[in-house]
Amino acid sequence: MGSGNLFEQLGGPTNVNSNPNARDHPPYKPEWEAAYQNFLDNVVKTGKFSDPLTLGYPGGMMRMMTPARGLQFVLRPEQVWIVYERPDVRYIYTDGRPFPPKDELWPTFEGYSIGHWEGDTLVIETRSVRGGIPIDRTGAALSDAATMVERIRKVDARTLQTDVTVEDPIAFTRPWKVTRRYTKRPEEFPRMENVSSLENNRNPIVNGETSIRLSDDSDASSPYPPDIRPYAVPKFPAPKP
């Protein structure tokens, strides 16, 4: 990734690309903004942020597109695969299928993506992304209602540009538009490292058997256990019934 303009900032200047809707963090509603700012002040800026990515959890759809070690794009007539470093893979179905019915479309880290081609531009719509997953190292997150539309195209022989519009009726005051660019690496023998969770302490060995630690019942919506939850993502307001 070459732009580095959003999702990985801890503060600093306002975004300077040509998109007037972009900013250093999402256009949160006041109650979400307050929770996010409190997290920035009391966790991130004090060096207490516990990044779930370093503990072996999936990065989630938004963060998969801002990798440290690169992406691979594999194009087939019926699918496009975007291979991430962890080793997660995004599957974008381009065979004309619709989205699954609601009772078969539950929230996941990657969501469910349907794509189609408009000339040389791949248009991807993603739904059913699990909320409460940090999209960067500031702890910013989305709700379960968030959807994304990406428009990916080549702007020259070595550069891909993706224009992303994120809509979240629960968390946002308006759609959030982000532009990213990726540069093709010139290596003759490119490598994608599959990073395993070498220090996973969520499944400790107890009496010679692997045990499982589940999330605290008081916050069943969180994908993280109670010992890291306060330092992994802000406590955003619960959706109103």
pLDDT at 193: 63
Task: Provide the 3-class DSSP secondary structure of residue 183.
Answer: strand
Helices (H), 160-238: 229-232
pTM: 0.81
Q: In whole angstroms, what is the distance from residue 164 CA to residue 131 CA?
A: 18
Where is average pLDDT lowest: 20-24, 39-43, 115-119? 20-24
Report the DSSP beta bridge partners of residue 151. 123, 163
pLDDT number for residue 88: 76
pLDDT tens for residues 173-194? 999 988 888 888 887 776 666 6
Cα separation, 200 vs 92, whole angstroms: 30
DSSP type of residue 108: B
Considering 18-32, 107-121, 217-231, the range whose residues carry the highest mean pLDDT is: 107-121
Mean pLDDT to the nearest integer, 36-57: 86
Q: What angle do CA 154, 155, 160 make, to 5 degrees?
A: 50
10-14, 115-119, 227-231: the lowest-pLDDT one: 10-14
Our CA angle for 173, 47, 25, nearest 5°, is 15
3-state secondary structure of 29: coil
**Containing H/E element for 81?**
strand 79-83
Q: Is the pLDDT of residue 11 over 80?
A: no
| Runs of H (alpha helix) within the chain | 30-39, 60-64, 229-232
φ/ψ of residue 84, rounded to 5: -100, 170
